[in-house]
Amino acid sequence: MDSNRAQEIIDSLAMINVKYHGIPVYIQGINEDSETATVFPLDEMDHEQQVDLDGLFEEGP
């Protein structure tokens, strides 16, 4: 996922389904310099992680 789309998802009022290697996640923020995102799995909200933007995929409708 590119950083612009990740930022659009963060800014969106709607809940947009995103997965990181098949695991549903919530994107908290992005770091464009390192091309990473701060995410947490939806089933483990206290498990914040830094992940590569390349591993994030938006699910279709």
List the domain boundaries for the chain: 3-58
DSSP the chain: --HHHHHHHHH-SS---EEETTEEEEEEEEETTTTEEEEEETT-TT--EEEEGGGEEEPP-
Q: What is the pLDDT of residue 59?
A: 87
Whether 60 has a pLDDT exceeding 80, the answer reads no
What is the tens place of the pLDDT at every residue in 16-45? 999 999 999 999 999 999 999 999 999 998
pTM, full prediction = 0.85
**% of the chain surpassing 90 pLDDT:** 89
Cα–Cα distance, 36 to 33 (Å, whole number): 8
Q: What is the pLDDT of residue 22?
A: 93
